[in-house]
Structure 1
């Protein structure tokens, strides 16, 4: 990797990391405060709408933003075309949500969902106004500006949401948090991108961009459907509080795995796209990303599972104790998520969104079968089934990179073995320390410290190369 590309990649990943960790930590703090004020049922109500908002958002984006990033000869008319498309589709889907709100409420037997759907749906229109602005900043690898916009959105949304919750707004405080946060982010993106759209629309531009993005659209719809179908099933067949517990467990797991995955997807896609024609550089960047992501994610998710009890009880209080076993399984369902994301990102970076779609669809039979088996068995069984499918999905996602670039699932697992060994030794140390302590706060503090130092020491003696890379980088 050339020095200029390495410097750009490093700065991009660092600022993307600052962005994602700052946003996730902000959202984490806000969610803790809100969870201590609100009831599990309030989170359950909003969880019922997650799939409808997610599917609509996927249609609005349609993979065209990624198409702009991947395209090397993009013009201003391309950006304007995507902006007009996003605006038109967001308006259409808001109307669909508005008029379908009574049917959604009837399905879940929750009349409150009518007004919630119609108000929360406004987020689609607000978010669509800044999709292209975010894309332009991503192409320029200006992740510093993106970080600022996201932090502004989290602060404004979080503060207003907490104030609303303290004043008895209940579930509406979550809606207020979402809408005002999205609005603040959109305004900030317009300010930092220095780009004002025209109303120009080119059919030729749309045809070319949608040709790439359409595969990502169908893949995104499929991914969102499978991700959020659990919400539909739990909300329909189990008490609304069960969905609240599930969304909290998922939220905790996504703080770490989701953050790292978002960093890698945002920062690495333009980097991989930039070297797509240089196979040697592409493989070098790609393999380093796999190793470094596994270096962080494997111990992090394991430590959360080990400390799930003090984390949940201390942060959310005893009323959320049912989250503990769900969280312990959920983190292992996320452990391969960042590496799988890199494998799939590679296909998009080289312009093969058709293969991206085919790989995603190939996982459908296993996922459907697992859901059919586990849904009647309860929420915990559903998450355990997700652990199995996510492990198998990693091997499927790594198949084509292995075929085309010689770095498939087995080679990647081989590179991860030192991380797994270091994590195993860390786990023994953490278990020994926490088993001697009854106080939950001390378990969390000392267990966390034992995990950090245990992993670093184990990695040092096992000569894990990624630790050396980090030490060398921060020693200057």
Structure 2
């Protein structure tokens, strides 16, 4: 039998493989679609994204998280969640179908009526795959989840690229999402050993409701928090402006998803499995925090360093304003995986109510701030968004760890060496390469120099996480 450490390492590896390949594919197809489409195309999709994300959260209703948080879920528990999701998916799609004119009126954009009704079809595909995904996730079947996601990304993105080339504009982006959901759902069924039955017992739904309803509210609030800028930009500015911001947000999200997806592949399951041993659970959390910081700070701060060169070379000067937004967003993106770990630690300890309260407070603060500041322009809104999300890392830490031995000093000790090293490396790299005029040479030079310098700093500092990561990768290669 594999030890918990071995299962966690394997889950992190496949989570990293999954997200690494997906982000590479996202990079390739993002460049293709960014060149073929206009900011307004992305803006229209960004306006309605919040509704599909909230609908997905309502459809799941927190029960997939409840399954993962259950020590040993039974087949009947998965079956109850499956049929509940089927019912919710149908009801929510019909509600959104008839609400499409209201959404279009909010943004004063008639094209959204037909787009909403088509783009939300993905809800009907996803509702049948939630229980299968939870089963694979709970059993640390990260390899199968990775294969499903990678295959779905390749096929859906290829179709979207062809459609964009043929002039289908924003319809290609909506099709990409729908196809991804459909293909990944079918493959989760293929890889999962569990199958639903017609013998339905909703005992688990009733038992888990007090916990799951808080997760549901928190999920809805999280989606609002993540998309508050798109909602307000779509309302008070143009589709073109919304598309420019959304392009920056999506590129930042590709980087943060690389680390978050890797960690979230295992963190909830592992933290729940050791929650009866609080000291061991805290040791697991700290190791995950160090790993996330080790990867996140150089990746996001480095991406911010090369944002202008990357955007101009990859998708053209028409997106130049997005590069400026991207530089700012990458700063708070660097701490997002750590904030997510703190939030998941809070959930693993059964504090779904506190998780909900923290998420609600952040959402309200962001909405009030953005509504107050939108007359001062998008740049002011983006900078404020960054500051609030940086500050909220400490709020998550306070509530997640206030009755543990994990002090603020220890958390800073776990993350600051990586943050300072990455910031110093990016500053030095920017200074050394500042006189290079050719954008291609500048991009390549900065990427190579920053990577070499960060690795050298970690080696000289004797970073244990670097040694453990290197040893695991070498062992994996030898086994292959």
Structure 1, unmatched stretches of 5+, are none
- Structure 1 distance, partners of 2:412, 2:51, is 36
4+ runs of 1 displaced by more than 6 Å? Answer: none
Q: 1:365 to 1:196 in 2, by over 3 A?
A: closer
- Structure 2 distance, partners of 1:14, 1:55, is 30
- Structure 1 distance, partners of 2:439, 2:414, is 36
**How many angstroms does 1:29 deviate by?**
1.6
Q: Residue 159 of structure 1 aligns with which residue? A: 158
Q: Where does 1:184-223 land on structure 2 (aligned, <5 Å)?
A: 184-223=183-222
Q: Residue 377 of structure 1 aligns with which residue? A: 376
**How many angstroms does 1:287 deviate by?**
0.3
Question: Which stretch of structure 1 is more off in the superposition, 365-374 or 240-249?
Answer: 365-374
User: Structure 1 length as normaliser, TM-score?
Assistant: 0.96
Q: Residue 478 of structure 2 aligns with which residue? A: none
Question: Which stretch of structure 1 is more off in the superposition, 282-291 or 370-379?
Answer: 370-379
Q: 1:295 to 1:251 in 2, by over 3 A?
A: same
Question: Which stretch of structure 1 is more off in the superposition, 282-291 or 422-431?
Answer: 422-431
- Given that 1:272 and 1:349 are in contact with CA atoms closer than 8 Å, whether structure 2 keeps it comes out as yes
Q: Residue 456 of structure 1 aligns with which residue? A: 455
Question: Which stretch of structure 1 is more off in the superposition, 456-465 or 210-219?
Answer: 456-465
- Structure 1 distance, partners of 2:113, 2:474, is 56
- Structure 1 distance, partners of 2:201, 2:377, is 50
**How many angstroms does 1:333 deviate by?**
2.1
- Structure 2 distance, partners of 1:104, 1:3, is 50
**How many angstroms does 1:364 deviate by?**
4.3
- Structure 2 distance, partners of 1:376, 1:88, is 43
**How many angstroms does 1:73 deviate by?**
3.6
Q: Residue 346 of structure 2 aligns with which residue? A: 347
Q: Residue 465 of structure 2 aligns with which residue? A: 466
- Structure 2 distance, partners of 1:358, 1:428, is 37
- Given that 1:51 and 1:228 are in contact with CA atoms closer than 8 Å, whether structure 2 keeps it comes out as yes
- Given that 1:97 and 1:121 are in contact with CA atoms closer than 8 Å, whether structure 2 keeps it comes out as yes
Question: Which stretch of structure 1 is more off in the superposition, 429-438 or 149-158?
Answer: 429-438
- Structure 2 distance, partners of 1:223, 1:115, is 27
**How many angstroms does 1:404 deviate by?**
2.1
Q: Residue 401 of structure 2 aligns with which residue? A: 402
SS at match of 1:343: helix
- Structure 2 distance, partners of 1:90, 1:101, is 16
**How many angstroms does 1:184 deviate by?**
0.9
Q: Residue 120 of structure 1 aligns with which residue? A: 119
Q: Residue 48 of structure 2 aligns with which residue? A: 49
1:360-384 Cα offsets, whole Å, 9 max, x none, are: 2343453344223332222221111
- Structure 2 distance, partners of 1:360, 1:274, is 25
1:378-436 Cα offsets, whole Å, 9 max, x none, are: 22211111111112110110013332222144321122221123113312331133212
- Structure 1 distance, partners of 2:11, 2:351, is 24
How many residues are treated as equivalent by the alignment? 475
RMSD: 1.6
**How many angstroms does 1:39 deviate by?**
0.8
Question: Which stretch of structure 1 is more off in the superposition, 52-61 or 373-382?
Answer: 373-382
**How many angstroms does 1:260 deviate by?**
0.9
Q: Residue 411 of structure 2 aligns with which residue? A: 412
- Structure 2 distance, partners of 1:368, 1:113, is 23
Q: Residue 429 of structure 2 aligns with which residue? A: 430
User: Structure 2 length as normaliser, TM-score?
Assistant: 0.95
Q: Residue 266 of structure 1 aligns with which residue? A: 265
- Given that 2:20 and 2:258 are in contact with CA atoms closer than 8 Å, whether structure 1 keeps it comes out as yes
Q: Residue 227 of structure 2 aligns with which residue? A: 228
- Structure 1 distance, partners of 2:407, 2:360, is 19
- Structure 1 distance, partners of 2:206, 2:65, is 14
Q: 1:262 to 1:473 in 2, by over 3 A?
A: closer
1:31-50 Cα offsets, whole Å, 9 max, x none, are: 21111001111010111101
Q: Residue 274 of structure 2 aligns with which residue? A: 275
Q: Residue 447 of structure 1 aligns with which residue? A: 446
Q: Residue 27 of structure 2 aligns with which residue? A: 28
- Given that 1:326 and 1:380 are in contact with CA atoms closer than 8 Å, whether structure 2 keeps it comes out as yes
SS at match of 1:322: helix
1:222-276 Cα offsets, whole Å, 9 max, x none, are: 1111222211210111121111111110011111112211221221110111111
Q: 1:361 to 1:410 in 2, by over 3 A?
A: farther
- Structure 2 distance, partners of 1:77, 1:415, is 41
1:79-131 Cα offsets, whole Å, 9 max, x none, are: 11101111111111101111011111122121111110001111111011101
- Structure 2 distance, partners of 1:382, 1:199, is 51
**How many angstroms does 1:25 deviate by?**
1.8
